[in-house]
Amino acid sequence: MKRIFVSGLVNTETTCTVKDFPIPYQPIDYNFFGVHTSVSGVGFNVAKALTALGNEVDIATLLGSDPAGDIALRELDAACINTSLVNRALPETCSSVVLHSPDGRRRIYCDLKNIQDTAYDFSAVDLTAYDMVVACNINFSRPLLQKAKALGLPVATDVHALSNPDDDYNRDFMQNADILFLSHEHVPGAPEDFLRTLARRYGCRVIVMGCGGNGAMMYLRENDTVCHQPAVPVEHIVNTVGAGDALFSAFVSLWCEGLSPTDCLTRAQRFAAAKITHNGGGTGFLSREELN
């Protein structure tokens, strides 16, 4: 069992199935059992997935002093994630609404409230107790980056939809990441060229680009190569929200176990494939035994 520190967003999430995009206007649609509310957010999804895979996880996050915050805290406890570092300084807990269609497409409306302007104090956190630091790309995680690197701890981060290798918002995260994940969705030009550009800019040991139905691409600094792995076939996709979080989490967990990057990505893709047969960003995670 590894001990992993996660800093990231926890929010309530309401998913709604739609027949197709674009959505034609109508004043009401009776969508029986098509609307579901749960707890999600990148920090929650990653922490829950890592815990399901057998790791001991502590999470630093910001919640609201509202009923939604109470629900989020209960769900963290239920997932056996240590909540002693949860700060309820926000007036309202962040929330999101996800519209998703049967073909896997989705539209996410994310309401971060004032979390991007609220700081988290990491001064009392003893990072030496952890094997890995996962710093999700939310503003309050920034002070964690230098602290982890000063201690020589490996840092993993996912910058999600990236279109510019010099992106101002994500630069801190990319500069300090040993393991860097991103999505292909906003990448201009050839994915391999973009990966190599990131590799030249930053010192990441591994860079993985999730490519949805086309699998994933990975850059390895140790031999300066880019490889592609096809996606794992899925008979019935329910909701692709959280697939990237699942891929990232499983890779990090397996990396901590000492597997090769190629084996990490192969198994992580199976973990993500199983996840998208469930609804909601924070559901559908295999245990370590199930993944094996």
pLDDT in tens, the chain (292 residues): 899 999 999 999 999 999 999 999 999 999 999 999 999 999 999 999 999 999 999 999 999 999 999 999 999 999 999 999 999 999 999 999 999 898 878 899 999 999 999 999 999 899 999 999 999 999 999 999 999 999 999 999 999 999 999 999 999 999 999 999 999 999 999 999 999 999 999 999 999 999 988 999 999 999 999 999 998 988 888 777 778 999 999 999 999 999 999 999 999 999 999 988 887 778 889 899 999 9
Please answer whether residues 97 and 14 qualify as being in contact, where contact means their C-beta atoms are separated by less than 8 angstroms: yes
Task: Tell me what pLDDT residue 19 has.
Answer: 92
Dihedral sign computed on CA atoms, order 207, 162, 108, 62: positive
Domain of 180? 5-9+42-92+119-287
Tokens 């920034």, located at residue: 142
Tokens 């497409």, located at residue: 105
Phi, psi of 68 (to 5 degrees): -65, -35
Domain-located, residue 195:
yes
Distance in Å from the first CA to the final CA of the chain:
15
Domain count, the chain: 1
Domain-located, residue 222:
yes
Alpha helices for the chain (secondary structure H): 42-52, 67-78, 142-150, 171-176, 191-201, 243-256, 261-275, 288-291
Count of alpha carbons within 13 Å of 143, Cβ hemisphere only? 11
Question: What's the one-letter identity of residue 227?
Answer: C
Instruction: Residue 149: count other Cβ atoms within 10 Å of its Cβ.
Output: 16
Domain-located, residue 189:
yes
Domain-located, residue 82:
yes
Alpha-carbon distance of 31 to 174, in angstroms, equals 41
Torsion angle of the four alpha carbons 204, 269, 223, 153, in this order, in degrees rounded to the nearest 10: 30
Domain-located, residue 111:
no
At 270, list the tokens: 């199976």
Task: Tell me what pLDDT residue 277 has.
Answer: 87
Tokens 């140790």, located at residue: 222
Return the DSSP state at 143.
Answer: H
Please answer whether residues 228 and 215 qualify as being in contact, where contact means their C-beta atoms are separated by less than 8 angstroms: yes
Please answer whether residues 82 and 57 qualify as being in contact, where contact means their C-beta atoms are separated by less than 8 angstroms: yes
| CATH code of the domain containing 207 | 3.40.1190.20
